Every structure is written in C-alpha cells, then in structure tokens.
C-alpha cells in the first residue's frame, strides 16, 4: 500500500535511461495483460445505460411507476401497447418500475460504501494514530460488529429504524466499517512512524493537521479499491433486504421488491420476476467485472509491475 505514494513520486525521480527502458517494457507487458477486452467495455456500456436511465428517469416521459393499467394485467413483454417489458400483477408498467427501482439500488450501491468507508476511515485513522484506549475501544467495537452475521444486523436495523432510503443506506453502510477501519488502521500505523510525519510534528504541526495533510493522502488509495468491491455487495444486500420487504417502503419500487412480488406469480407470468432478476444480475456482474479489472491494475501498480 505504501508503494502507491512511492510510485507517484518515483515516476518523476527515475530519470536514468536504463530504468526508463525497463519501465517501458513493463508498461507494454502491463498494457497487453490489461487490454480493454469486451469484458471491460461491455460492462461499462451496460453500467452507463443503467445509470443514465436511473439518473434521468423523471425526464424520460415514462409511465408513472405506480400507475395501474387495468386493461393489461400481467401482460407479457410486448403483448400490450405502451408496455415495452409488460406489466405486473397490478398492471403497473415493468419498464418504468425497473428503472425507478434502479434508482434505489444504485443510490444504495454508491451511498452505502461511501458512508461505510468514510466512517471506517475516521475510526481506523484515530485508532492507528492515537493507539491506547481509542484503539482498544475501536477494536472491541469492530469485533462485536463482526460477531453478528451482516443480514442479522440489517434485519435488526430494519425493525428499529424503519424503511426510509436514508436509513437503508446508513445501516448498510455500517456493514462496511469493520474492514475499512482495519485496513486504515494498519496503514495509518505504518505511516505514523515515517520520517515525513516526524518532520511535520517537529515543525509543530497539530495532530489534526498531520492526520489530514500527511496521513490521509497516503491511506486513502487502498480504500478506493475497497469501495469498488463494496458497490456490488451493497446492491446485492439491498436486493435481499427489499426482497424480504425490509428496505424502502412498498409503493416505491426496488429491484428486490419487484422480484419478491413477481415470485407470487412465477408460474403464470414469470417475466415479472425474471426481468428485474436479469437486470440486477447484469448490473452486479458488470460492477464486479469493472471492479476486478481496476483492482488488478492497482495491485499491479502496487506490486511494482510498472
């Protein structure tokens, strides 16, 4: 992890021709290994479409997600005019429901990891920098947190705090704290003893200044890779929660919720459950593929491949 900072600096400092040649060869090999194959650009295209549709959903002139068309109950895709993907058991347009549901899934997918990693960063930096009792308290809190299966914690929170989108993001975000805090703590401890921190302290910098200006820029990089892994996890867990009816409240569509409703009609009209399932699967798969590629690149950089 340390080498990221070292790497950014080293690019400037390595001036000898020999090293540059070696670097060029390594970069070429690296580029070859990580060419943008179809497994990189197809997921990116899919994600762009899904995010754009979710983002601009109100401007697209879609049918309202909760408008019931009693002339077309459980219509198969393409069977009823004006319903591209058909309708559900209440005659609501599936295309708009899936798109509006995507807003929930994607909001949670981005917000929850951001919240969790942000809080984990603060806790981990405090524990790793100050050590002592703060470290002990954070350590025990994390152990406790990890002692309950994640879904159980979320069920508990769903009961206690109810189903607003904000609370779903927050309680899901809390799940990502432990790992983020551990990574940050380890990295912070490593940097806290380094020369540039000692120098800053000798110059009279306050703890807060050292944490923000000296340590934060170094420990934040490994966490960004971590956020990438967390996005699909957050989407999946939100899906599971709303499948159980414990995420956002009923009239608001969400992917898991539509799947749960469609499950009741799996035999007569499977498209109600299968369409959101397919959309969610492709989205999670795409996030996984993109995240994996980026992570591999970052670890190549870290391991000194270039």
Residues of this chain that interact with another protein (CB under 8 A) are: 140-141, 143-144, 147-152, 155-161, 232, 236, 239-240, 243-244, 246, 256, 259, 263, 266-267, 270, 273-274, 277, 280-281, 284-285, 288-289, 292
Q: Shortest Cβ distance from residue 71 to another protein (Å)? A: 27
Q: Shortest Cβ distance from residue 186 to another protein (Å)? A: 15
Q: Shortest Cβ distance from residue 126 to another protein (Å)? A: 19
Choose among 115, 71, 116: nearest CA to 93: 71
Choose among 138, 103, 113: nearest CA to 223: 113
Q: Shortest Cβ distance from residue 260 to another protein (Å)? A: 9
Q: Is the dihedral of CA 104, 107, 113, 116 positive or negative?
A: negative
Our CB check for another protein shows the closer of 210 and 228 to be 228
Q: Shortest Cβ distance from residue 56 to another protein (Å)? A: 26
Our CB check for another protein shows the closer of 214 and 291 to be 291
**The Cα angle at residue 273 between residues 272 and 274, in degrees rounded to 5:** 100
Our CB check for another protein shows the closer of 129 and 157 to be 157
Our CB check for another protein shows the closer of 218 and 269 to be 269
Our CB check for another protein shows the closer of 93 and 261 to be 261
Residues linked to residue 87 through DSSP beta bridges, in sequence order: 93
């Amino acid at each position: 992890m340390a080498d990221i900072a070292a790497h950014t600096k080293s690019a400037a400092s390595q001036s000898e021709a020999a090293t540059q040649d070696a670097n060029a060869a390594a970069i070429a090999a690296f580029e070859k290994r990580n060419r943008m194959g179809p497994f990189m650009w197809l997921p990116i295209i899919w994600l762009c479409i899904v995010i754009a549709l979710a983002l601009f959903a109100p401007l697209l002139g879609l049918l309202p997600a909760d408008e019931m068309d009693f002339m077309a109950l459980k219509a198969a895709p393409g069977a009823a005019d004006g319903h591209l993907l058909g309708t559900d058991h209440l005659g609501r347009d599936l295309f708009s429901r899936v798109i509006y549901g995507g807003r929930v899934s994607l909001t949670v997918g981005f917000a929850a990891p951001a919240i969790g990693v942000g809080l984990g960063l603060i806790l981990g930096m405090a524990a790793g920098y100050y050590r002592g009792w703060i470290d002990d308290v954070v350590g025990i809190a994390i152990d406790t947190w990890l002692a309950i299966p994640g879904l159980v914690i979320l069920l508990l929170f769903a009961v206690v705090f109810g189903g607003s989108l904000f609370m779903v993001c927050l309680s899901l975000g809390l799940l990502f704290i432990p790992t983020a805090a551990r990574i940050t703590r380890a990295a912070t401890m490593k940097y806290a003893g380094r020369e540039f921190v000692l120098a800053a302290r000798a110059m009279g910098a306050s703890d807060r200044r050292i944490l923000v200006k000296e340590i934060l820029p170094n420990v934040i990089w490994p966490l960004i890779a971590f956020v990438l892994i967390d996005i699909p996890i957050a989407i999946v867990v939100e899906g599971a929660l709303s499948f159980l009816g414990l995420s956002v409240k009923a009239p608001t569509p969400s992917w898991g919720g539509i799947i749960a409703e469609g499950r009741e009609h799996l035999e007569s009209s499977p498209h109600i459950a299968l369409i959101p399932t397919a959309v969610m699967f492709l989205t999670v798969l795409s996030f996984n593929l993109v995240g994996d590629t980026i992570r591999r690149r970052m670890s190549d950089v870290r391991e000194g491949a270039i």
